[in-house]
A and B are shown apart, each in its own frame.
Chain A
Amino acid sequence: MGAAPQQTSPDQRVADFRKIFSRAENEVARVIVGYQDVIRKLLTALFCGGHILIEGVPGLGKTLMVKAASETLGLSFKRIQFTPDLMPSDIIGTQVLTEADGHREFQFKQGPIFAHMVLGDEINRATPKTQSAVLEAMEEHQVTVFGTTYPLPPPYIVLATQNPIELEGTYPLPEAQMDRFIFKVVMGSPKPDELREILNRTTGTAQNPIHPLFESAKAPQAIEDLKALVREVMVAEPLERYIISVIGGCTPGGPGAIPEVSQYLRFGPSPRGAQAMILCAKANALLAGRVSVSYDDIDDSIVPCLRHRLLLNFQAEAENVSSESILEQVIKRLRRPRT
C-alpha cells in the first residue's frame, strides 16, 4: 500500500484502489448504520480531492461518520463547531507572543483548520466573514496569516454540515463557497431497521473499534497515490461532450437548455461543476474496476455534483421545485440512447 506507481503494475493499482475503498467503506459502516451512499460519497470526495457538504438534521451521526472515516484512513481529524461569534482567527490560527531565551517573538499558532479532515459543523451558523476564511483553505489548501502563507497538509478535505431547519440566525453559504464543495449529500432519517441497529450498537456495552487501513505516517502518501490514480482514469471524447451538454443544459440560456431550466433557474453550474462530474465519474469507474469512464458513471455523478450549483429563482421556490427534479429532467432529455 502506498507504493510508488511505477513499482506496481497498473492492474494492481486499480485492484488496490478497489480493495482500499471497499475496506474503508466497511470500516465506517461498522460505526455508522446505513447511509452507504453517503459513506461512499464521502470517500469518493476524499479520493477526488474535493470537499463535501452534508445536509441533515442533528443527531444523524454526521460527526461520527467523518471521525470514523478519518480513523479508518489514519488521517488527522479536527472539528469546528461554527457559531455566530466564531472569528476567522479561531479557525485559521493566530500569532501569539512567545518569549524564549530572552527574546520575544510572534509565533503562529495553528487553528483547527490544520488537519487532514476538517469537520465544519453547522457551517451556516457562522458569519460570512468567518465562512470566507475557510474559502482560501478549501480551494488553495493553504492559509495566509499576517502575510505568511502556511500550507495545509495533504490530503486535505473539509466536510461541512448544514442544518436545514432552524434557519433563524443562520447565514446561508454564499454561492462562491457552495461551488467549492464537490458534492452535496443529503442525509435523511434512518429507516426503522437501521434505527433499531443504531440503538443496539450505541446503547449497549459492545464496542466497535475501527481498524485503520494505513499507519498515520504513511496514510497521507497512500491517499495521495490513490488520488493520482483517480486522475489517471481516461475519458473518451464523446463522453466529454456529454458532460458539456449536461452543463449547457443546466444553464439558463445555454446551448440545449431545457424549458424547465430557463423557467426555474437563475444561474447554472460553473466549470467547476464539470470538473467535479469528471472526477466523480473517474472514481466511479475505478470502483467498477474500469480504467475508462462510462456514461453510467457520469449519470451517477450528475445529481450530487450539480444539485448545490443550481440557483433556483423565486418561481421555483414558490412552486416548490427542487434542483434535483430539474436535474432529473435534464438527464432524461440528454441521456444518450443505449442499445
Chain B
Amino acid sequence: MAPDRAATLSLALFAVAAIALVAGAILAWREYRARVDFIGAAVELDDLLGSQEQIVTLATLANPAGPDGIRARRTPLFPVLWRRAIACFEGFDARREFKLEVGEPLKRSSIFAGVVAFAMILATLGLVRVPSPETLQAARLRAIATRIAKTASTAEDSDLVAKIREAADALENPKLPPEEKKKRIEEAKQQAEKAAEKRNNSQSGNGQGTGTSKAQNGTGNSKGTGQGKSEAAGTGAGQGKSGAGQGKSETGKQSGKNENGKGGSGSAKNDNNHKNKNKGDKSSVELQNELAKAEAQVETADAKNPGPESQPGDDKNKGGGNKPGDDKNQTGGSQPNPNLPGNIPKPGVDGDRNIPAAGGKNTNGPDRGSNLGDTHLGEMPLPLSAQRYLKPGEKGAAVDIKDARYVMFRIPGATVSAGTGKTVLDSERHRATTAYVNAPLAPSSDNAPPDERQLVPPRYRDMIH
C-alpha cells in the first residue's frame, strides 16, 4: 500500500474508531439514563409483574426526585396502594427476572460491527495498490539504507543513508521527472563510492606480517616480511632464497609461502576495522547493484511513458521523451528537433531509411512512414508509387493495397485525352436517370369524392338505386 493511502486508511480507521467510541458512549449514557429513570423502572416492573400500573402509580407518588407537590396528591387510599404494590413483589426474584442476557445485545451490535468491518475491508481493499517496480526498488533501497544506518559510524555513512533514502523517495514519487530521479540516484551512487573509498583508506597499511621459511633443499632459512592491505591481500618480500608472505585481512594471519622449500608461518595484526570490511563490501556492492537497477528502471519507465513529465527543454538533448535520437543504441536520430524554432519536420526525410519508431520494434518490415509517430500532425508522406482504379471498361491489374499506412485518393475532375492534351468532358460518365430534386407533391383536392361509400341497408337499396 502506498504511504499516502496507508495514511488515509489509518486516519479513516481512527475516525471510525472515534465515531464508534462516541456513539457507544452516547448509547451507554442513554441506556444509563433510561435505567436510572425511577418511573421508567416502575413501568418495567409493572409490565413484568402484571400489576395493572399499581407500581408505577406508587412510584409516581413516592418519587424522591418528583416535584414538591407530589406528596399532596396522595389520597387516603395511598396506604392501600402501598400494600398492594408491595404484595405484587411477593415471589419476585430480581435476579431471576433480570438476567444478564448478553446474547441479544451482542447479536444486535454484531450486525452493525459486521457492516463497519465489511466497509473497512472494502475501503482497505480499495486503497491497496499493487506496488510498482519503482516502489519495490525503493523498498529495497530503504532496506539497505536501514542496514547501513545500523552500522554507520562515520558522517559519510550517515550522508549515504540520507542520500539512499532521498533516492528511494524520488524513485517512487511519480511527480518527479526522470531526470530528477536519475540525479538523486547518481548522488547516492557518488556518496556510496565516496564512503567506500573512505573505508578503504582507513583500512590500508594496518597489516604487517613476518614469516619464516625453511628451504627444503637445504640452502638455508629464509625470513620474509609481508605487508597486507586491508582490501585483499598483502605481498611480502622474503630475505633468503625466495620467500613470499601473504596476509589475509579477515583472519589477521599471514602465511609465508616458499616456492622452493617449506615456508614458514607468519602472523600479522590488523586493525579492528577489518572485521567489518567484507560486510561493508557486500553492502556496498549490493547498494551499487540496486542503485544501478533503480537507474535502469527509471530509464525504462521514461522510455515507456513519454508523458508530460518529459517536457522539451528539460532534457539535455532538447528532444523530449519519445523521439529518435534520445536512445544511444539507435542509429537514427538525425531528425531535427521539431520543437525547436525553425526545425519543421520534413515529411519523407527518413521515410526510406527504415527507422523504427522510438520505444518499439519495427516488426512489419520496411517502414515507409515517418519516424515521428502516427499521431504527429502535419506529417503526410508523399506517395511513392501511386496506383489508380480502372476506368469503366478499362482492363488491367486491380489495385492491390497491402500494409499501407496511408491511402490517398485523387478524384479527377475530367479525363485528359491522350494525344492532344485538350481537356474534354467525359461523355461516357454514368449519369443519374431519375430526378433527384425533392419536389413537393401536388396538393390533394378537397373536392375529390370520398373513397368510402355510405352503406345502405339491403331493403332500401332498391329504393335508392
Contacts and interface: CB of A to CB of B under 8 A. Distances in A.
Contacts of B151: none
Given A234-B75, A237-B39, A338-B47, A11 B57 contact: no
B77 A233 contact: yes
Nearest to A229: B77
B47 to A, nearest CB: 4
Interface stretch (A125-133, A140-148, A288-296): A288-296
B81 interface: yes
A10 B60 contact: no
Residue among B39, B59, B74, B80 with the most chain A CB within 10 A?
B80
A235 interface: yes
Interface in A274-319: 288, 290-296
A188 interface: no
A220 to B, nearest CB: 21
B47 A232 contact: no
Contact of A234 (B39, B48, B52, B73): B73
A294 B52 CA distance: 5
A239 interface: yes
B39 A11 contact: no
Interface of B: 39, 43, 47-48, 52-54, 56-61, 73-81, 84
Given A292-B53, A293-B53, A293-B57, A238 B39 contact: yes
Q: What size tier do the contact residues of chain A reach?
A: 20 to 34
A229 B76 CA distance: 9
Contacts of B60: 234, 236-238
B47 A234 contact: no
Nearest to B77: A291
A293 B57 CA distance: 8
Given A239-B53, A290-B52, A295-B53, A14 B77 contact: yes
Interface of A: 5, 10-11, 13-14, 229, 232-239, 288, 290-296, 338-339
Contact of B47 (A237, A239, A290, A339): A339
Contacts of A5: 76
Contacts of A295: 53
A10 B77 contact: yes
Nearest to B74: A234
Contacts of A10: 76-77, 79-80
B57 A232 contact: no
A14 B78 CA distance: 12
A117 to B, nearest CB: 27
Nearest to B66: A237
A234 B56 contact: no
B86 to A, nearest CB: 13
Contacts of B47: 338-339
Given A290-B52, A293-B53, A295-B53, A234 B76 contact: no
Given A291-B84, A338-B47, A236 B77 contact: no
